[in-house]
Structure 1
Amino acid sequence: MKPSAAEIAREVLRTEAAALARLSEELPESFEAVVTLLLSVRGRIIVSGIGKSGHVANKIAATLASTGTPAQAVHPAEASHGDLGMITRADALILISNSGETRELADMIAHASRFAIPLVAITRRPDSTLARAADHVLALPDAPEACAIGMAPTTSTTLTMALGDALAVALMRQRGFDRADFLAFHPGGTLGAQLLQVSALMHTGEELPVVPPEMPMGETLVVMSAKGFGVAAVVEDGRLSGVITDGDLRRSLDGLMERTAGEVATKTPRTIAADALVTEALGVMNAHKISALFAVDGERRLLGLLHIHDALRAGVA
């Protein structure tokens, strides 16, 4: 009886997971030296390979570039027809070949040798032509491919991709690459939105619906209506002493117009720090079923206001 698709999938995943565990245990001894080398590069990390290794090279270069290490993928065939000029003495070269005998890489190997460009090989065979030409070898475990005939690049590409991730993360940690840096490289899309701070979206200055505690509710309603957020900040001596929401208005309908803002306001409102992530602010809003949060500093001085619509427009939610 043929195995089911699910059984095949589990077998593939177990095979690749075992290979990854082995790579973790048998991390190449040169890994630290490679990280040190890449940290010293004044130019870019050039990553290349052919076939499936080429696709992996593109991914590794993209991950490096997005995490603080300037990198570029160069196709070996294009390199042989002029793109070798993209690779300078200030760069370092990472070449990927499972067998280490990929003939399309020959011109890039020769170029690295001619111009003393540091060369790192990622290969399963530490005795291969590529490995012998390299300054450093990141040898992959000799683990079986996960495909049915043991030939299609599956386990080997998974291992190479994971090793590339390990390099990128080690480099970003060594560089002190943080969330602010990550946002600078990811200004668009969901990743960028998730790393936005409240200060980037909050309303400030004249946009804020600010009232003193002694203001009559009739005037307070005018301010709330004019600013359009459905809330008002009650500020006393420059500090947030309360917040008026639509819910506070409903709870105080009886005799509302005879009261002051300070009498109607909630005295312990939810607030957020200006340097908090917008995702954190959105979580507070969702948890407490509110649509706006005032940002304050450590002494409760009012800094701004974030509305849920601001988060939605930025693509956070």
Structure 2
Amino acid sequence: MYDAGFLSRLETRLRGALPEWGLQPDAPLKLLTISENATFLAHDGAGTPIVFRVHRPDYQAADEIRSELDWVSALRADGVAATPEPMIRRDGGLLGAFEDEGETRHVAAFEFMSGKEPEPGEDLAAWYRILGAITARLHGHARGWAATPGFRRKTWNFDTTIGATPLWGDWRAGLGLDDPGRALIQRAGDRLRDELAAYGATGDKVGLIHCDLRPANLLVDGDRLAVIDFDDCGFSWFMYDFAAAVSFMEHEPFIPELLEAWLAGYETVAPVLSEDRAVMPALMMLRRIQLTAWIASHAETPTAQSMGDAYTHGTLALAERYLSSR
């Protein structure tokens, strides 16, 4: 999808929508990132930077995006976490759209927030301790927040991640995956299904979560850790937020250290039960298999291309380890 011609056309369409946020169509504009969505950086007449997120079609519906923006606005209003403010359009709304070759592309805009992604070489565990506390505050807010009428976000459970109705595609299509590999992941999936069913999905264990708190969605500036990109927020196990926070690096040897740091930070705000700790390996394995499917179904994105079938091979190794640990 995201070849040079498409991106050029997308920029042209976005320029036509800029006046909805008070910007001129010829405002400075450049592509920032491509993943599920394409994000652009623009500058208004005063030189103030604004981030525009152009949504991938057929993923989030308009009411789902508005629900995300409602939660972000509530988090900011309640001082829960540092996160960019959604920018209001001239008509008072938060969501715009344009048509591109018969498809509707939804557009949201956010204030620019300074900072850089935390790197493993910069004491990532220390940042994950802070992230654990932030995550606990997000969960506490979700438990007590009275969502706006019509609030709708996706549910991330076994079926919608790697089961019967996967939202990111079938893991069996994983790049480089052969029949023995499929059989191995199937065995891991069967055990995951049973373990997660035993853990349960009662009200104290599930709720609205960010679901993508990986370093690419964190901004470090001095001693401040900000959280961005709530595009995948939805209903899932609260502890799944850590599994998502180590996306694409689940195989790294420093993950146990990150987990302990995250849990320690979380417990400065809210308790973590022994059963919550015990389910962490299962949730990380679930996420790894889900991302194996995502890479196959989003092969045109830079993230998927950088991972390739090596990520699938890593998933097999982790599946072997998961099965042998029980």
TM over 0.5: no
TM-score by length of 2: 0.22
Relative contact order: is structure 1 or structure 2 higher (C-alpha 8 Å, sep ≥ 6)?
2
